C-alpha cells in the first residue's frame, strides 16, 4: 500500500511504478472519474494523455500534473502528496469568496468557517514559535 496525501484526505492504495492505480482508486484519491472522454468531475472532463492510460489503470501522477497540481514523493516513493494547483488557489481567492475550511478547536471539536455566514469574521493566525 502507498500513502497518498490528497488535498482533502489521506488514502492508502495499491499502486505500481509511481502512481499507476485502478480507476476506482483514482476516483477515490482525486475525486475525478475515468470516462471515455478522460477524467471527469461534474460537467468537466480533462482528456488524459495516451501514455497516462493503461488497461484498467490510470497514471494519477500524470493526470495530476496535467491539472497543474504539484506531485511530490518521499525518497522511497512510499508516501506521496498531491497539492492543489496554483491556478485553482488563485481562482478561488480572486472570486473573493473566503475559501472554506474545517479545523479542530483546542478541544478537538471541528469548526467550519462557513458556519459563521451572516457575521463579520476577523480571521487571524498566530503561533507559539
Partner 1 sequence: MVVAVAEESRGADHARPWIEQAKSDYWQLIDTEHRLEDLYNLVNVPQAIWIDEQGKIVRPPETAGSTDHFRGMDLKTRTMSPKAQEERLAARQAYMDAVRAWVTTGKHALPEDEARANLPKVTPEIAAAHAHFRLGLWLRANGRAAEGDLQMAEASRLHPDSWSLWRQAADLDEVGKASGPAFWKRVQDLGERPYYPPPKL
CB-nearer residue toward partner 1: 6 or 53: 6
CB of 29 to partner 1, least distance (A): 14
CB-nearer residue toward partner 1: 9 or 24: 9
CB-nearer residue toward partner 1: 24 or 90: 90
Residues that bind partner 1 (CB under 8 A): 3, 5, 10, 68-75, 79-86, 89-90, 92-94, 96-99, 101, 103-108, 111, 113-114, 116-129
CB-nearer residue toward partner 1: 32 or 53: 32
Beta strand extents in 22-92 (DSSP E only): 33-35, 38-41, 44-46, 53-54, 57-59, 71-73, 79-82
CB of 102 to partner 1, least distance (A): 9
**C-alpha span between 31 and 112 (Å, rounded):** 21
88 close to 31: Cβ distance less than 8 angstroms: no
CB of 82 to partner 1, least distance (A): 7
Phi and psi at residue 127, to the nearest 5°? -160, 160
Phi-psi region of 7 (alpha: psi -120 to 50; beta: other; left: phi over 0): alpha
Amino acid at each position: 500500500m502507498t500513502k497518498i496525501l490528497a488535498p482533502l484526505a489521506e488514502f492508502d492504495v495499491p499502486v505500481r511504478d509511481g502512481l499507476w492505480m485502478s480507476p476506482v482508486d483514482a476516483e477515490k484519491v482525486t475525486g475525478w472519474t475515468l470516462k471515455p472522454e478522460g477524467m471527469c468531475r461534474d460537467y468537466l472532463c480533462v482528456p488524459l494523455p495516451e501514455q497516462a492510460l493503461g488497461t484498467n489503470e490510470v497514471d494519477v501522477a500524470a493526470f495530476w500534473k496535467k491539472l497543474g497540481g504539484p506531485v511530490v514523493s518521499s525518497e522511497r516513493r512510499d508516501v506521496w502528496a498531491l497539492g492543489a494547483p496554483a491556478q485553482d488557489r488563485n481562482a478561488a481567492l480572486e472570486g473573493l469568496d473566503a475559501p472554506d475550511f474545517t479545523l479542530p478547536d483546542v478541544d478537538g471539536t471541528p469548526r467550519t468557517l462557513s458556519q459563521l455566514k451572516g457575521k463579520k469574521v476577523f480571521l487571524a493566525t498566530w503561533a507559539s514559535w
